[in-house]
Protein backbone atom coordinates (compact mmCIF):
# COMPACT_ATOMS: atom_id res chain seq x y z
CA UNK A 1 0.00 0.00 0.00
CA UNK A 2 1.28 3.45 -0.93
CA UNK A 3 2.12 5.75 1.97
CA UNK A 4 0.29 9.07 1.97
CA UNK A 5 1.93 12.15 3.41
CA UNK A 6 0.08 15.42 3.82
CA UNK A 7 2.61 18.26 3.92
CA UNK A 8 0.18 21.03 2.92
CA UNK A 9 -0.15 22.53 6.40
CA UNK A 10 0.21 21.80 10.11
CA UNK A 11 -3.55 22.40 10.40
CA UNK A 12 -4.38 18.98 8.89
CA UNK A 13 -3.59 16.97 12.03
CA UNK A 14 -6.20 14.76 13.68
CA UNK A 15 -6.63 14.50 17.48
CA UNK A 16 -4.47 11.76 19.02
CA UNK A 17 -6.13 8.99 21.13
CA UNK A 18 -4.92 10.71 24.33
CA UNK A 19 -6.41 14.00 23.18
CA UNK A 20 -9.74 12.36 22.32
CA UNK A 21 -9.79 10.76 25.76
CA UNK A 22 -9.20 14.19 27.39
CA UNK A 23 -12.00 15.71 25.29
CA UNK A 24 -14.39 12.89 26.11
CA UNK A 25 -13.92 13.30 29.85
CA UNK A 26 -13.93 17.13 29.97
CA UNK A 27 -16.11 18.88 32.55
CA UNK A 28 -18.21 21.41 30.69
CA UNK A 29 -20.77 24.17 31.28
CA UNK A 30 -22.18 27.12 29.35
CA UNK A 31 -19.16 29.26 28.53
CA UNK A 32 -21.27 32.27 27.51
CA UNK A 33 -22.35 32.31 31.19
CA UNK A 34 -18.66 31.86 32.14
CA UNK A 35 -19.53 28.45 33.58
CA UNK A 36 -17.34 26.10 31.59
CA UNK A 37 -14.57 25.16 33.98
CA UNK A 38 -12.39 23.58 31.29
CA UNK A 39 -12.50 26.74 29.16
CA UNK A 40 -11.69 28.82 32.24
CA UNK A 41 -8.78 26.50 33.04
CA UNK A 42 -7.42 26.75 29.48
CA UNK A 43 -7.66 30.55 29.43
CA UNK A 44 -5.86 30.84 32.78
CA UNK A 45 -3.27 28.25 31.80
CA UNK A 46 -2.27 29.95 28.54
CA UNK A 47 -2.21 33.39 30.22
CA UNK A 48 0.10 32.03 32.95
CA UNK A 49 2.42 30.39 30.39
CA UNK A 50 2.96 33.74 28.66
CA UNK A 51 2.97 35.95 31.75
CA UNK A 52 -0.26 37.73 30.75
CA UNK A 53 -3.25 38.60 32.96
CA UNK A 54 -6.14 36.97 31.14
CA UNK A 55 -7.18 34.86 28.14
CA UNK A 56 -10.15 34.38 25.82
CA UNK A 57 -10.79 31.09 24.01
CA UNK A 58 -11.89 31.67 20.41
CA UNK A 59 -12.71 29.35 17.51
CA UNK A 60 -9.81 30.45 15.31
CA UNK A 61 -6.56 32.35 15.00
CA UNK A 62 -8.25 34.72 12.61
CA UNK A 63 -10.80 35.61 15.28
CA UNK A 64 -8.20 36.21 18.01
CA UNK A 65 -6.18 38.45 15.68
CA UNK A 66 -9.20 40.40 14.49
CA UNK A 67 -10.53 40.87 18.02
CA UNK A 68 -7.10 42.09 19.16
CA UNK A 69 -7.00 44.63 16.32
CA UNK A 70 -10.50 45.81 17.27
CA UNK A 71 -9.47 46.17 20.92
CA UNK A 72 -6.28 48.08 20.19
CA UNK A 73 -7.52 50.54 17.54
CA UNK A 74 -10.28 53.03 16.72
CA UNK A 75 -11.80 53.53 13.25
CA UNK A 76 -9.52 55.84 11.15
CA UNK A 77 -6.41 54.45 12.86
CA UNK A 78 -3.59 52.70 11.02
CA UNK A 79 -1.62 49.61 12.00
CA UNK A 80 1.89 48.69 10.90
CA UNK A 81 2.81 45.16 9.82
CA UNK A 82 5.06 43.34 7.41
CA UNK A 83 3.68 42.94 3.88
CA UNK A 84 3.48 39.16 4.33
CA UNK A 85 1.41 39.44 7.54
CA UNK A 86 -1.38 36.90 7.89
CA UNK A 87 -3.63 39.54 9.50
CA UNK A 88 -3.43 41.55 6.28
CA UNK A 89 -3.12 38.95 3.51
CA UNK A 90 -5.17 36.02 4.69
CA UNK A 91 -7.88 37.34 6.97
CA UNK A 92 -10.20 38.44 4.19
CA UNK A 93 -9.73 42.18 4.56
CA UNK A 94 -10.99 41.93 8.14
CA UNK A 95 -8.80 44.80 9.38
CA UNK A 96 -10.79 47.27 7.27
CA UNK A 97 -14.12 45.47 7.67
CA UNK A 98 -14.11 44.83 11.41
CA UNK A 99 -12.09 47.77 12.66
CA UNK A 100 -12.21 50.49 9.96
CA UNK A 101 -8.42 50.63 10.14
CA UNK A 102 -5.86 51.05 7.34
CA UNK A 103 -2.62 49.10 7.12
CA UNK A 104 0.93 50.36 6.52
CA UNK A 105 2.98 47.50 5.09
CA UNK A 106 6.73 47.14 5.53
CA UNK A 107 9.14 45.10 3.49
CA UNK A 108 10.83 42.96 6.12
CA UNK A 109 13.33 40.15 5.68
CA UNK A 110 11.27 36.92 5.52
CA UNK A 111 8.51 38.81 7.30
CA UNK A 112 10.73 40.04 10.13
CA UNK A 113 10.60 43.81 10.71
CA UNK A 114 12.72 46.00 13.00
CA UNK A 115 12.24 49.09 15.15
CA UNK A 116 14.37 51.05 12.62
CA UNK A 117 11.92 50.11 9.85
CA UNK A 118 8.83 50.88 11.93
CA UNK A 119 9.81 54.28 13.36
CA UNK A 120 9.73 56.36 10.13
CA UNK A 121 6.34 54.85 9.24
CA UNK A 122 4.61 56.14 12.36
CA UNK A 123 2.44 59.03 11.23
CA UNK A 124 2.88 62.47 12.74
CA UNK A 125 -0.22 64.03 14.33
CA UNK A 126 -1.86 65.71 11.32
CA UNK A 127 -5.47 65.55 10.10
CA UNK A 128 -4.28 64.28 6.70
CA UNK A 129 -2.90 61.10 8.20
CA UNK A 130 -4.52 58.10 9.81
CA UNK A 131 -3.53 57.82 13.44
CA UNK A 132 -0.92 55.07 13.90
CA UNK A 133 -1.93 53.06 16.95
CA UNK A 134 -0.79 49.45 16.57
CA UNK A 135 2.11 47.28 15.41
CA UNK A 136 1.44 43.60 14.61
CA UNK A 137 4.24 41.01 14.53
CA UNK A 138 3.91 37.35 13.51
CA UNK A 139 6.05 34.62 15.12
CA UNK A 140 6.86 32.39 13.35
CA UNK A 141 6.20 34.09 10.02
CA UNK A 142 4.15 31.69 7.89
CA UNK A 143 4.90 33.33 4.54
CA UNK A 144 8.54 33.83 5.58
CA UNK A 145 8.97 30.05 5.72
CA UNK A 146 8.66 29.69 9.51
CA UNK A 147 11.18 32.45 10.24
CA UNK A 148 11.48 33.56 13.87
CA UNK A 149 11.81 36.65 15.99
CA UNK A 150 13.84 36.14 19.15
CA UNK A 151 13.00 38.23 22.22
CA UNK A 152 16.25 40.06 21.48
CA UNK A 153 14.67 41.21 18.18
CA UNK A 154 11.35 42.03 19.84
CA UNK A 155 12.65 44.18 22.73
CA UNK A 156 13.59 47.27 20.65
CA UNK A 157 10.22 47.11 18.87
CA UNK A 158 8.40 46.94 22.22
CA UNK A 159 10.45 49.88 23.53
CA UNK A 160 9.61 51.94 20.43
CA UNK A 161 5.91 51.11 20.79
CA UNK A 162 5.94 52.15 24.46
CA UNK A 163 7.75 55.41 23.66
CA UNK A 164 5.37 56.27 20.81
CA UNK A 165 2.25 55.10 22.66
CA UNK A 166 1.48 52.30 20.18
CA UNK A 167 0.04 48.92 21.14
CA UNK A 168 1.95 45.79 20.14
CA UNK A 169 0.13 42.58 19.14
CA UNK A 170 1.66 39.20 18.34
CA UNK A 171 0.09 36.77 15.91
CA UNK A 172 1.50 33.71 17.64
CA UNK A 173 -0.16 31.09 15.45
CA UNK A 174 3.13 29.16 15.69
CA UNK A 175 4.61 30.77 18.80
CA UNK A 176 5.64 27.42 20.30
CA UNK A 177 7.61 26.62 17.14
CA UNK A 178 9.39 29.97 17.58
CA UNK A 179 10.12 29.24 21.27
CA UNK A 180 11.42 25.78 20.35
CA UNK A 181 13.83 27.36 17.86
CA UNK A 182 14.99 30.40 19.86
CA UNK A 183 15.01 28.86 23.35
CA UNK A 184 13.31 32.03 24.67
CA UNK A 185 10.98 31.66 27.66
CA UNK A 186 7.26 32.02 27.01
CA UNK A 187 6.79 33.72 30.39
CA UNK A 188 8.96 36.63 29.23
CA UNK A 189 6.61 37.48 26.34
CA UNK A 190 3.96 39.09 28.54
CA UNK A 191 6.27 42.01 29.31
CA UNK A 192 6.55 43.09 25.69
CA UNK A 193 3.12 42.58 24.13
CA UNK A 194 -0.30 44.10 24.77
CA UNK A 195 -1.93 41.17 23.00
CA UNK A 196 -0.88 37.66 21.95
CA UNK A 197 -2.81 35.15 19.81
CA UNK A 198 -1.81 31.60 20.69
CA UNK A 199 -3.07 28.97 18.28
CA UNK A 200 -3.77 25.44 19.51
CA UNK A 201 -4.73 23.90 16.18
CA UNK A 202 -1.54 24.27 14.15
CA UNK A 203 1.65 22.55 15.36
CA UNK A 204 0.05 21.69 18.70
CA UNK A 205 -2.52 19.46 17.02
CA UNK A 206 -5.81 20.46 18.68
CA UNK A 207 -8.80 20.30 16.32
CA UNK A 208 -9.98 23.87 16.96
CA UNK A 209 -9.06 26.98 18.85
CA UNK A 210 -6.88 29.92 19.67
CA UNK A 211 -6.52 31.90 22.87
CA UNK A 212 -6.21 35.69 22.89
CA UNK A 213 -4.09 36.99 25.78
CA UNK A 214 -4.06 40.52 27.16
CA UNK A 215 -4.71 42.45 30.40
CA UNK A 216 -7.98 41.72 32.19
CA UNK A 217 -9.66 44.96 31.08
CA UNK A 218 -8.87 44.30 27.38
CA UNK A 219 -10.10 40.70 27.64
CA UNK A 220 -13.37 41.93 29.17
CA UNK A 221 -13.93 44.06 26.04
CA UNK A 222 -12.61 41.28 23.78
CA UNK A 223 -15.27 38.94 25.21
CA UNK A 224 -17.91 41.45 24.07
CA UNK A 225 -16.43 41.61 20.57
CA UNK A 226 -16.26 37.81 20.37
CA UNK A 227 -19.99 37.68 21.14
CA UNK A 228 -20.73 40.29 18.46
CA UNK A 229 -18.82 38.19 15.93
CA UNK A 230 -20.86 35.12 16.88
CA UNK A 231 -17.91 33.48 18.60
CA UNK A 232 -19.57 32.91 21.99
CA UNK A 233 -19.50 29.12 22.37
CA UNK A 234 -21.50 27.02 24.82
CA UNK A 235 -20.05 23.67 26.02
CA UNK A 236 -16.71 24.60 24.52
CA UNK A 237 -14.85 22.73 27.26
CA UNK A 238 -14.70 19.65 25.01
CA UNK A 239 -12.54 21.72 22.66
CA UNK A 240 -10.64 23.49 25.44
CA UNK A 241 -9.73 20.06 26.84
CA UNK A 242 -7.99 19.29 23.54
CA UNK A 243 -6.03 22.54 23.93
CA UNK A 244 -4.98 21.71 27.48
CA UNK A 245 -3.90 18.24 26.37
CA UNK A 246 -1.93 19.75 23.48
CA UNK A 247 -0.11 22.15 25.81
CA UNK A 248 0.74 19.36 28.25
CA UNK A 249 1.78 16.69 25.72
CA UNK A 250 2.48 18.10 22.28
CA UNK A 251 4.80 21.08 22.73
CA UNK A 252 7.98 19.21 23.57
CA UNK A 253 7.72 17.13 20.36
CA UNK A 254 7.79 20.18 18.02
CA UNK A 255 11.55 19.69 17.78
CA UNK A 256 10.84 16.46 15.88
CA UNK A 257 8.88 18.45 13.25
CA UNK A 258 11.78 20.89 12.98
CA UNK A 259 14.27 18.04 12.53
CA UNK A 260 12.03 16.52 9.82
CA UNK A 261 11.88 19.89 8.03
CA UNK A 262 15.69 20.14 8.12
CA UNK A 263 16.00 16.63 6.63
CA UNK A 264 13.73 17.63 3.74
CA UNK A 265 15.63 20.89 3.14
CA UNK A 266 18.99 19.08 3.14
CA UNK A 267 17.65 16.58 0.60
CA UNK A 268 16.21 19.28 -1.64
CA UNK A 269 19.27 21.55 -1.78
CA UNK A 270 21.45 19.50 -4.19
CA UNK A 271 18.61 18.35 -6.48
CA UNK A 272 18.92 19.58 -10.07
CA UNK A 273 15.22 20.51 -10.36
CA UNK A 274 15.43 22.73 -7.24
CA UNK A 275 16.80 26.23 -7.78
CA UNK A 276 16.94 27.31 -4.12
CA UNK A 277 15.82 26.36 -0.62
CA UNK A 278 14.98 28.99 1.99
CA UNK A 279 16.95 28.22 5.18
CA UNK A 280 14.78 26.22 7.57
CA UNK A 281 14.24 27.50 11.11
CA UNK A 282 11.12 25.62 12.22
CA UNK A 283 8.55 23.32 10.54
CA UNK A 284 8.08 25.07 7.18
CA UNK A 285 10.22 24.39 4.10
CA UNK A 286 9.95 26.80 1.16
CA UNK A 287 11.82 25.99 -2.03
CA UNK A 288 11.91 27.21 -5.60
CA UNK A 289 11.66 24.91 -8.61
CA UNK A 290 13.16 25.15 -12.09
CA UNK A 291 9.98 23.98 -13.84
CA UNK A 292 6.59 25.30 -12.71
CA UNK A 293 5.66 24.18 -9.20
CA UNK A 294 2.39 22.70 -10.50
CA UNK A 295 4.34 20.07 -12.49
CA UNK A 296 6.31 19.02 -9.39
CA UNK A 297 3.17 18.94 -7.25
CA UNK A 298 1.57 16.56 -9.75
CA UNK A 299 4.61 14.22 -9.53
CA UNK A 300 4.47 14.32 -5.72
CA UNK A 301 0.73 13.69 -5.71
CA UNK A 302 1.23 10.61 -7.91
CA UNK A 303 3.41 9.22 -5.08
CA UNK A 304 0.88 10.05 -2.33
CA UNK A 305 2.52 13.30 -1.23
CA UNK A 306 0.41 16.43 -0.85
CA UNK A 307 2.04 19.87 -0.83
CA UNK A 308 1.06 23.37 -1.96
CA UNK A 309 2.58 26.00 -4.23
CA UNK A 310 2.85 29.54 -2.84
CA UNK A 311 4.05 31.09 -6.13
CA UNK A 312 4.51 29.89 -9.72
CA UNK A 313 7.89 28.34 -8.93
CA UNK A 314 7.65 27.94 -5.14
CA UNK A 315 6.50 24.96 -3.09
CA UNK A 316 5.79 24.80 0.64
CA UNK A 317 6.17 21.67 2.77
CA UNK A 318 4.99 21.77 6.39
CA UNK A 319 5.87 19.06 8.92
CA UNK A 320 3.59 18.22 11.84
CA UNK A 321 2.61 15.54 14.32
CA UNK A 322 0.91 13.32 11.75
CA UNK A 323 4.12 13.07 9.71
CA UNK A 324 6.30 10.30 11.09
CA UNK A 325 9.88 9.26 10.36
CA UNK A 326 8.88 6.55 7.87
CA UNK A 327 6.83 9.09 5.92
CA UNK A 328 9.79 11.46 5.81
CA UNK A 329 11.87 8.56 4.42
CA UNK A 330 9.22 8.01 1.74
CA UNK A 331 9.25 11.72 0.82
CA UNK A 332 13.06 11.69 0.62
CA UNK A 333 12.97 8.70 -1.78
CA UNK A 334 10.37 10.39 -3.96
CA UNK A 335 12.26 13.71 -4.04
CA UNK A 336 15.40 11.87 -5.19
CA UNK A 337 13.45 10.07 -7.92
CA UNK A 338 11.94 13.16 -9.56
C1 LIG B 1 0.40 33.07 10.91
C2 LIG B 1 -1.04 32.73 10.98
N3 LIG B 1 -1.85 33.51 11.68
C4 LIG B 1 -3.18 33.25 11.79
C5 LIG B 1 -3.73 32.17 11.16
C6 LIG B 1 -5.22 31.97 11.23
O7 LIG B 1 -5.59 30.85 11.93
P8 LIG B 1 -7.02 30.16 11.68
O9 LIG B 1 -6.89 29.33 10.46
O10 LIG B 1 -7.22 29.36 12.94
O11 LIG B 1 -8.02 31.25 11.55
C12 LIG B 1 -2.91 31.30 10.41
C13 LIG B 1 -3.50 30.13 9.71
O14 LIG B 1 -2.84 29.40 9.01
C15 LIG B 1 -1.53 31.59 10.32
O16 LIG B 1 -0.70 30.83 9.60
pLDDT recorded at residue 152: 98
User: Domain total for the chain?
Assistant: 2
Rounded to the nearest angstrom, the distance between the alpha carbon of 61 and the centre of ligand 1 is: 5
Rounded to the nearest angstrom, the distance between the alpha carbon of 62 and the centre of ligand 1 is: 6
Average pLDDT for 19-45:
98
If you take atom 5 of ligand 1, which residue's CA is the nearest one? 61
Q: What is the pLDDT of residues 36-47, one digit of tens each?
A: 999 999 999 999
Residues 169 and 274 in one domain: no
Residue 277: pLDDT over 90? yes
Is 173 a pocket residue for ligand 1 (Cβ < 6 Å)? Answer: yes
Residues 171 and 224 in one domain: yes
**By percentage, how much of the chain surpasses pLDDT 70?**
100
Residue 1: pLDDT over 80? no
H helices of the chain, in order, are: 17-24, 37-49, 61-72, 86-89, 94-99, 115-118, 151-163, 175-182, 216-228, 237-249, 254-268, 293-302, 325-337
Q: What is the pLDDT of residues 214-253, one digit of tens each?
A: 999 999 999 999 999 999 999 999 999 999 999 999 999 9
First CA to last CA distance, the chain: 20
Domain range for 152 is: 17-249
**DSSP secondary structure letter of residue 278:** P
Q: What is the pLDDT of residues 60-82, one digit of tens each?
A: 999 999 999 999 999 999 999 99
**DSSP secondary structure letter of residue 109:** B
Residues 34 and 132 in one domain: yes
Residues 26 and 151 in one domain: yes
Write the CATH number for 278. 3.90.1150.10
H helices of 123-215, in order, are: 151-163, 175-182
The closest alpha carbon to 207, from 248, 246, 171, belongs to: 246
Q: Are 195 and 68 in contact (CB under 8 A)?
A: yes
Tell which of 223, 249, 275 closes a domain: 249
Is 171 a pocket residue for ligand 1 (Cβ < 6 Å)? Answer: yes
pTM of the model: 0.97
pLDDT recorded at residue 324: 97
Q: What is the pLDDT of residues 152-205, one digit of tens each?
A: 999 999 999 999 999 999 999 999 999 999 999 999 999 999 999 999 999 999
Amino acid sequence: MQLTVDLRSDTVTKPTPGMLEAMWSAKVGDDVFGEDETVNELEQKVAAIFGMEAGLFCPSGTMTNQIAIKCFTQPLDELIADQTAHVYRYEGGGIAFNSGVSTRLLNGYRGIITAEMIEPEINAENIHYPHTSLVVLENTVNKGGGSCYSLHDIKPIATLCQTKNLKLHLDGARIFNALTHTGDKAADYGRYFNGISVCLSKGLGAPVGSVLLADAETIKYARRIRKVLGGGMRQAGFLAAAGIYALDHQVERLKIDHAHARILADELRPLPWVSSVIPVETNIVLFDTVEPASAILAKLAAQGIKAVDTAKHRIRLVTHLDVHAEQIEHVVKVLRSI
